[in-house]
A and B are shown apart, each in its own frame.
Chain A
């Protein structure tokens, strides 16, 4: 044990060689939280649109008012001719152009062809996701407009208010549907992966690169002591960040922490076992730090981040890919973190995910240890 502590101490001393490291350990989480907490939202609102009111009737005005009043849209300009819409879309001034045709009002009263009550919505499809959402909003606004029209006509026809089905919608876990409550806890997973996996892999490869690994081998350190002493310091750094992120998430971002913080720390410990084992494994297949970094980043971290459900929901992926995601530890940790933060669920529901993490961690650690035995 004493020898492991000595090696850990040496590792910390080496980390201090670059005074900027302490800054990074503190700055990195804050930066990630700010960006992902505030900016990482696929919510679409304030979409810049241009409108053309070809009819200038009370109905066409009302429809355009609905667009102007909606939080989803921001009318940046109103044109007289549809031709001007083209230029606005090409130059990127607007994402959507809404064109109300001549005769719109009359056609709604039954005087005129159907084409005269067809509202044209032109969309810039370059940003497929946002355009799709914006188009859906536009269609929604028109159908609200229609519903109001129908209600009005039924009242005037003396038929009384229409019946129909209303949905009493209640949203659980995140009633106001704010993305930050979803993204911020996820930063824990991302951060631990970036800090522990990469840095531990590079730390070991660095000894190899500089030739000092040989020296460590001739010391009376056992293999496990060596591995433990090299990896644990990064586990410690990772945990400092876990606490920091939890504090900032709860006190600054006001993300509710409904579940048990102790359970969250326990889950983080199991997850760090996975990330450190992965770091060790990467170090056994790399010769230079640059190689280790590239391997970690591109073969493991980035694919893991994409396929873990961190941003892109797993249930939207093709079934084959969904199978692939089951071997990604990040996936299980994200379910645990989000479950504890937002749903307040306990170990009784989360244990399968804990088990998956533990199995993964132990398996990769065994593999990496076996490999490091062979390579050295």
Chain B
């Protein structure tokens, strides 16, 4: 027990000397929170639209103003030739181009079907899909002839959204952010702190000292666990104050889940430290193991249901996936431990596996 304290105090001193690491762990999450809250979203508005109006009638101008009034599009210019259209799309000035053919107004008045051309910049497939949807919606509305539809009775839709009625991406991204930041800090700092001892040759000294492997591991891990835990809770508190994140569930459950996730993350860091010989390599492995899967395969931003089936299987070994389910459940839905227990169980299993494996590898040396 004393040995554990000795290692932990030594580690804390080292962290304290490294002010920046401390700052990163405690204050940077706030910065990211602001970023997420204000800067990042997928809501697509003000799509840059260039129009070529070959008809130039009241009808064609009405169609253009329908696009603008939808608030999805913003008219950034007009084109007079195909070359200009090409240039507008190539240079990225326009994301969408609307070409209204000659005779548009006449045909529409005659109740004849007319076709307008819409060119979309598809480089970003996600944005383009959304823009395509907006275009179809605007055209569909414009198609309904004045005075029709009164006689027909249409099915109506009443959407009701639970847990996050305004569909604010912040509420959904914040739990992901906690997973992401704590995974990186916990994995990479733990890995680096041990590999540094190797690089500086102080690992030998520790090995000579009468410290058992468990005492060493716990002593190394505990300071990072405590710091990451505090940092995770700070993010949630900040999100509650700044963005009105509802904390529906129980704080105790939340802390428990967070701790389980962090133990797994620190275990991963320990495991990385047994593989790498230099801090550079430890960082690269650590960021590969922590950064990418947590970012891409956890359901943080990209929905797992849309992934190819092979990667869906891979995502089942990413701890952040379970952490996110549990965290979103607790924070947004107010789930209790019983509802989220499958995810918590997965986290516990992961933590035990990596910690066990890391201890075995550390003890063998």
* Residue pair A132, B122 in contact (C-beta under 8 Å): no
For window 72-100 of A, CB contacts with B under 8 Å fall at 89-92
- Inter-chain CA distance A10–B11, complex, in Å, is 32
* Residue pair A206, B154 in contact (C-beta under 8 Å): no
Q: Which B-chain residue is minimally distant from A59 (CB atoms)?
A: B155
Convert A135-151 into 0s and 1s, putting 1 for each residue whose CB lies closer than 8 angstroms to a CB of B: 11011101101110110
Q: How many residues on chain A are close to B (CB under 8 Å)?
A: 124
- Inter-chain CA distance A165–B156, complex, in Å, is 22
Q: Which B-chain residue is minimally distant from A138 (CB atoms)?
A: B157
* Residue pair A169, B132 in contact (C-beta under 8 Å): yes
The reply to whether the CB of A333 lies closer than 8 angstroms to some CB of chain B is no
Known: A164-B113, A169-B132, A313-B127. A143 touches B140 (CB 8 A): yes
* Residue pair A17, B301 in contact (C-beta under 8 Å): no
For window 308-357 of B, CB contacts with A under 8 Å fall at 308, 310-311, 315, 325, 328-329, 332-333, 335, 339
- Inter-chain CA distance A89–B163, complex, in Å, is 10
* Across-interface contacts of A143 in B (CB, < 8 A): 140
Known: A126-B163, A163-B111, A206-B279. A140 touches B133 (CB 8 A): yes
* Across-interface contacts of B44 in A (CB, < 8 A): 313, 316
Known: A35-B311, A126-B333, A169-B118. A338 touches B123 (CB 8 A): yes
* Residue pair A17, B24 in contact (C-beta under 8 Å): no
A128 CB to nearest B CB, Å: 4
- Inter-chain CA distance A318–B37, complex, in Å, is 11
* Residue pair B114, A43 in contact (C-beta under 8 Å): no
For window 276-302 of B, CB contacts with A under 8 Å fall at 276-281, 283-285, 287-288, 292-293, 296-297, 299, 301-302
- Inter-chain CA distance A349–B92, complex, in Å, is 10
- Inter-chain CA distance A198–B125, complex, in Å, is 31
The reply to whether the CB of B6 lies closer than 8 angstroms to some CB of chain A is no
Q: Which A-chain residue is minimally distant from B307 (CB atoms)?
A: A39
* Residue pair B280, A203 in contact (C-beta under 8 Å): yes
* Across-interface contacts of A343 in B (CB, < 8 A): 89-90, 123
The reply to whether the CB of A24 lies closer than 8 angstroms to some CB of chain B is yes
The reply to whether the CB of B43 lies closer than 8 angstroms to some CB of chain A is yes
Known: A306-B39, A349-B91. A179 touches B126 (CB 8 A): yes
Q: Name 18 interchain pairs, CB-CB below 8 A, sorted by A.
A: A41-B125, A41-B126, A117-B156, A118-B155, A125-B164, A128-B167, A132-B43, A150-B154, A153-B152, A167-B115, A169-B117, A170-B120, A173-B123, A179-B125, A290-B18, A291-B21, A313-B127, A316-B44
Residues on B facing A (Cβ under 8 Å) = 18, 20-21, 24, 28, 31-32, 35, 38-48, 63, 89-92, 95, 107-108, 110-130, 132-133, 135-137, 139-140, 142-145, 148-149, 151-165, 167-169, 171-172, 184, 188-189, 192-193, 196, 199-200, 275-281, 283-285, 287-288, 292-293, 296-297, 299, 301-303, 305-308, 310-311, 315, 325, 328-329, 332-333, 335, 339
Task: Kindly list the 7 A-B residue pairs having the minimum CB-CB distance in the complex, ordered from nearest.
Answer: A125-B164, A164-B143, A174-B122, A171-B122, A163-B111, A125-B161, A18-B277
Residues on A facing B (Cβ under 8 Å) = 15, 17-18, 20-21, 24, 27-28, 31-32, 35-36, 38-48, 63, 89-92, 104, 107-110, 114, 117-133, 135-136, 138-140, 142-143, 145-147, 149-150, 153, 161-175, 177-179, 181-182, 194-195, 198-199, 202-203, 206, 209-210, 286-291, 293-295, 297-299, 302-303, 306-307, 311-313, 315-318, 321, 335, 338-339, 342-343, 345, 349
